[in-house]
Structure 1
Amino acid sequence: MSGKVFGVALGPGDPELITIKALKCLQNVEKIYYPSTQSPKGNQDSFSLVILKQLDIEESKFVPIQVPMSKDRSHAEKAYTELSLKVQQDVAEGKQVAVVSEGDISFFSTFSYLLNDFHAKGVDFEMIPGVPAFILGGSAGKLPLVTQNDKLLVAPDLENQQELKALLAQNQTVVLMKISKVREWIKEFIKESRLQFFYGEYLGTGKQFTCTDIECLKDRKIPYFAIIIFYGNK
């Protein structure tokens, strides 16, 4: 059997939302690399591992990849380079291995940072898609994200309210992800704009919390793993 690497999407958190193809792949490969972060306090955290442990997979395959939580991207880039080299060695030895990510494999995914290297080195790989968090958010919010000719925009790391207003003026639906920069002003914006919205955090996990009323957000601390969907220009 020739070596090959699979980029496998785990879905947003609920183990039942992984695809059948993804599950079969993970059951058949010899190694499964999963991202794990280390906080400044030294704590290890991995949503990928939480999902993997709920699936029918031999845990001896699991191999953590440490990706530091830092605004300095050089640390993360070093981790991706090391992962790429390990995977290439596995493939050279004829092994079939997987690299997993929560959500979809091409949407804010660890695997995306390996692609240039794989293309350049001629590494045989396949990507198996999955359900990203904002798609689950659309279902959890019980409203369509888009219909007919609507435009949808996914916007990470917005700088200010003016930027958000401009995006809402051009799109029927705007999904905010990686919302650490908006924490200071987003609640006031929601209150003043009176726009219909859906808020969800840790979607698909046991810690899932959702709401559509600004009152339920008033005293709530917004974590990193949260999304906000605005149903604006409709």
Structure 2
Amino acid sequence: MQNRSGKVFGVALGPGDPELITLKALNCLKKVDKIYYPATETAKGSSDSFSLVILKELNLEESRFVPITVPMSKDRSYAEKAYAELFLKVQADAFAGKQVAIVSEGDISFFSTFSYLLDGLNSNNIDFEMIPGVPAFVLGGSVGKLPLCTLKDKLLIVPDIESEEELQTLLSKNETVVLMKISKVRNWIKDFIKKHDMKFFYGEYLGTEKQFSCADIKSLEARRIPYFAIIIFYGNNRPLRPEEK
């Protein structure tokens, strides 16, 4: 009979700064038998992982690190295959009585690899726990030194925008709109900001050594927007500019 005394932990690492991991998450990583971390396989065959950078700063035993490699591709079948293979490994670990962690940057339930394992964990009665963390847009609010929302403000988080018209509609209905995965809109978003004189915060690679942020269009115009970037648009809760007072 299989031993099902093991447990799986979904552990959030925070947005990039190792000091922003929670105490609960760090204590969990210190005790588990394995730590699975996401890594991206580039077109040139190399591997890249922001999670690994964070893990190495936490003084953990690196022999427990196991990469989850997902090829860079718009074809989701490659990612789905990687998630299916990961689940089988994690299931085998749990049935063998091991304690294992699957880590992710940001929060564990927010655009996280762990989300794709939940159906399998639940349907196979595998004991698991999710440990939350700080997502990038929350760090963005702090770096930008403005509130994301106050009182009855509506906050909307959008991973993909198809058009300027769609964004304009969303901005008209919410006080704060956070755009994530904005490389898709890089061809027109700067002109949109200038055209509408938007109050915004831009941040890329937040919490890492490559962090850059700005709140003026002149600084943003010189940037090539990468995948790991966000823009926060402020509506009614934005502070007044000097000429508006």
TM-score interval (norm. to shorter): over 0.9
Q: CA deviation at 1:2?
A: 2.3
Gaps of 5+ in 1: none
TM-score by length of 2: 0.94
Aligned to 1:61: 64
Number of matched residues?
A: 234
Which residue identity is paired with 2:57? Q
Aligned to 1:195: 198
Equivalent of 1:111 in 103, 114, 120: 114
Task: Trace 1:45-56 onto structure 2 (pairs within 5 A).
Answer: 45-56=48-59
- Does 2:139 match 1:136? yes
Is the 8 Å Cα contact of residues 157 and 180 (structure 1) preserved in structure 2?
A: no
Task: Trace 1:172-211 onto structure 2 (pairs within 5 A).
Answer: 172-211=175-214
1:159-204 CA distances to partner (integer Å, 9 max, x unpaired)? 1100100000010000000112100000000111111100000000
Distance 2:46 2:177 in 1: 33
SS in 2 for 1:217: helix
Aligned to 2:35: 32
Shifted more, 215-224 versus 129-138: the winner is: 215-224
Distance 1:113 1:75 in 2: 13
Say what the alpha-carbon RMSD is for the aligned residues: 0.9
Gaps of 5+ in 2: 238-245
Structure whose alpha-carbon radius of gyration is higher: 2
Distance 2:223 2:50 in 1: 22
Q: CA deviation at 1:67?
A: 1.0
Q: CA deviation at 1:220?
A: 1.1
1:194-224 CA distances to partner (integer Å, 9 max, x unpaired)? 1110000000000000000000011210000
- Does 2:40 match 1:41? no
Task: Trace 1:6-17 onto structure 2 (pairs within 5 A).
Answer: 6-17=9-20
Aligned to 2:91: 88
Distance 2:142 2:100 in 1: 32
Equivalent of 2:105 in 102, 106, 111: 102
SS in 2 for 1:94: coil
Which residue identity is paired with 1:84? F
TM-score by length of 1: 0.98
Is the 8 Å Cα contact of residues 10 and 104 (structure 1) preserved in structure 2?
A: yes
Distance 1:135 1:18 in 2: 13
Distance 1:175 1:42 in 2: 33
Equivalent of 1:226 in 215, 224, 229: 229
Is the 8 Å Cα contact of residues 32 and 63 (structure 1) preserved in structure 2?
A: yes
Distance 1:162 1:111 in 2: 33
1:122-142 CA distances to partner (integer Å, 9 max, x unpaired)? 111000000000000000000
- Does 2:163 match 1:160? yes
Equivalent of 2:174 in 171, 174, 185: 171
